[in-house]
Amino acid sequence: MNRAIYILLALMLISCSKNENGNFIFEKSWQSGSAYDALVLSDTSFLVAGQADGMPFLIMTDRSGSRIIEYESGKAGAFTSVVDDTSGYYAAGFSGGDILVERISKNGINDWSVIIGTEADASRSIIKKDNTGSFIVTGSCDPDSVDASSFKMAFIDRNGNITDEKEVSPGYNVAASDFCTGSSGNIYLALSKNTGSAKTMASVTGLTPDGNILWEEELYNNSKFAAASMAIDIYQDNLYVTGKTELSIEDNTLENSFLVKVDTYGNTGTKTYLENSNIGVDIVFDDFERVHLLNKNCFLVDIIGMLSDDDLTLFRTFEVCDPYQTGALAAAFDLTDDGNYLMCGSLSGKVYYSLRKGDESNNEPAPESR
């Protein structure tokens, strides 16, 4: 009987991989650690940032995967976020529990480095441009633990000057995993919080351009199941949030990735439950009104149409990969103009990044709403 079950599982894995299209254009794995952010540049090159052998790194590659720039910070820690600007590449991360921000020139040379102190033990920092050409940085504890009562928000200019900073303390333990900005300059945060219960809750919060809270909306607040918001992005004044929640499987619970649509006033719209034994970690949009959602385990990608609940495709990065037990752990991705995925994370404990040919539908308009 057990042998029959194993055979059935093997057949399921084979059949599930039939939707895979194309091959890797390149795959790279090196040094112990993880890549945490990946960015497609307009000049047909790529940026990848992360931690290798305990040190923050930033590399630029061409479309064949050959490295053009290799930069390693002199401070122990990691880069967890990177943005491109005409003045250089801005990488944010952590070092010694504080926020680390560096500007690296287009030639791969350090222009400046700033440490921003925080009350939380920062293990994740995000940097993004604001509407004035400067930058917003958040630094937070790990959303898996939510063991800090605050997170840090700082505003920094191109020269590394901190123009404003604040420790945001909402009155409960909180982790800020990601944020995005709207056309008005408002800031929208993907939060995980713990108000004293045994389970964390997923929420999203709107702030003014200077960081004052406008509203907060809980996405999942069932006290029996934990949830966390991991990534957020905005498309035509609608916020899309992903992360993890839990579902009941017999006597146990199982993590499940989700996608929630929220307007910029905090009103919750469609909720979609996606992959079992998985966590949504990143979101990108294409030109055909589709959300591409990256799952952590096995680098699975859900492609969700905004116009129809029935428009859902699962893209498998690897031919055979079991999300219930895997060493292929995704962190971030981006979409090229020709519909391919620049992906990064870790593979068997080593830094991993790749360029993967995307699903055939990536270059086709989505079906109209039914």
The predicted structure's pLDDT at residue 252: 78
Token pair for residue 297? 């385990």
* 2-363 fold: Methylamine Dehydrogenase; Chain H (2.130.10)
The predicted structure's pLDDT at residue 147: 82
Question: Does residue 13 have a pLDDT over 60?
Answer: no
Listing DSSP states for 266-327 in one string gives S-EEEEEEEEET--EEEEEE-TTSEEEEEESBTT-EEEEESS-TT-EEEE-SSSS--TTS-S
Could you tell me which residues are beta bridge partners of residue 113?
A: 102
Question: Does residue 312 have a pLDDT over 80?
Answer: yes
pTM (2 d.p.): 0.90
The domain limits of the chain are: 2-363
Average pLDDT, the chain: 89
Question: Does residue 279 have a pLDDT over 60?
Answer: yes
Return the percent helix, strand and coil in the chain, to nearest 5. Answer: 5, 55, 40
The predicted structure's pLDDT at residue 5: 36
**Stated length of the chain:** 370
The predicted structure's pLDDT at residue 249: 75
Are 97 and 91 in contact by the 8 Å Cβ rule? The answer is no
> Which residues lie closer than 8 Å to 356 by C-beta, 6 or more apart?
22, 24, 25, 317, 340, 341, 343
Distance CA 90, CA 98 (A): 17
DSSP 362: G
Question: Does residue 277 have a pLDDT over 70?
Answer: yes
Residue 190 CA to its chain's centroid (Å):
11
> Which residues lie closer than 8 Å to 191 by C-beta, 6 or more apart?
174, 175, 176, 177, 202, 203, 204, 205, 216, 229
The predicted structure's pLDDT at residue 367: 52
The predicted structure's pLDDT at residue 360: 75
Residue with tokens 């993890």: 244
The predicted structure's pLDDT at residue 91: 98
The predicted structure's pLDDT at residue 66: 95
Q: Half-sphere exposure of residue 327, counting CA atoms within 13 Å on the CB side?
A: 9
Distance CA 44, CA 342 (A): 12
pLDDT tens sequence across 140-163: 998 877 888 889 999 999 999 999
Give the pLDDT band (50/70/90) at residue 114.
Answer: very high
Residue with tokens 């079906």: 367
Give the pLDDT band (50/70/90) at residue 229.
Answer: very high
DSSP 183: T
Q: Is 307 exposed, middle or buried (0-12, 13-18, 19+ CB in 10 A)?
A: middle
> Which residues lie closer than 8 Å to 12 by C-beta, 6 or more apart?
none
For the ranges 48-52, 195-199, 359-363, the one whose mean pLDDT is highest? 48-52
Question: Does residue 2 have a pLDDT over 50?
Answer: no
When pLDDT is averaged across residues 35-55 and rounded to a whole number, the result is 95
**Which has more pLDDT, 360 or 210?**
210
Distance CA 108, CA 276 (A): 40
Furthest-apart CA atoms within the chain: distance in Å: 67
Lowest mean pLDDT among 121-130, 195-204, 317-326, 351-360: 195-204
pLDDT tens sequence across 129-142: 998 889 999 999 98
Q: Which amino acid is at 89?
A: Y
pLDDT tens sequence across 160-215: 999 999 998 888 888 999 999 999 999 999 999 988 766 889 999 999 999 999 99
